[in-house]
Amino acid sequence: MRRKVRLPFSAEQVYRAILDPMILSAWFDVPYASTGWAPLQLFEIEDRGTPPGWKFRGFVVETVANRKIRIEREDKNAEAFRALVILLSRAEEGCEMEVAWSSTRLDRLASAFLDPRGHQRLGLVLDRFPEIRLPKDGAETKPSAVGS
C-alpha cells in the first residue's frame, strides 16, 4: 500500500520529527515514543490511553538524510520482515511525504503518519521546539526515548 500527502513543512523538518522521540510523541499524540538515528535504532510507539490502544515496535534499518526512512518489524506469525518506508521530497511550499507499507499489520502506524490532525500538531510542535537539531551526517548518536 502507498499513499502521498503534501505537508507545509520542509523535508528536513519532517525527517527530524520522525527521528526525534519528543517531537514524534507529540506529533502522534502518544505518551511514549522511541526513535533515533543510530543503526538498528529501536522505533517504538505506544498509546495505552486511547481505546483500544495500540503499540508498534520495530527498528530503523535505513535512513537517507532528509529523504528516506525505512522501519521494519519482524512478524512472528509470518516469519518475515514487514516494512514501512517514508520518502520525503521537496515540493512547493513544503514537502511531499510518501508512506509505503507492506502489510495490513502496519495500517495503524501508516495512518498515524497520514492523519491531518497529526499534521496540525506537528506544525505546533515544530514551532515550539526549533532548537532541536539533527546530528551532522555520520555523527554517532545514542538511542533515546521519551515517556510520560
94-140 pLDDT tens trace? 999 999 998 888 898 999 999 999 999 999 988 887 665 555 544 33
Give me the number of domains the chain comprises: 1
Which residue(s) pair with 145 in the sheet? 34
Question: 137: burial class by Cβ within 10 Å (0-12, 13-18, 19+)?
Answer: exposed
Query: Is 77 a domain residue?
Result: yes
Q: Is residue 131 part of a domain?
A: no
pTM for the full predicted model: 0.82
Domain that holds residue 35: 1-46+60-84
**Cis peptide leading into 135, omega within 30 of 0?**
no
Mean pLDDT of the chain: 83
CA Rg value for the chain: 14
Report the alpha-carbon distance of residue 42 to residue 59 in Å, rounded.
5
Helical axes 107-114 vs 116-128, angle rounded to 10°? 60
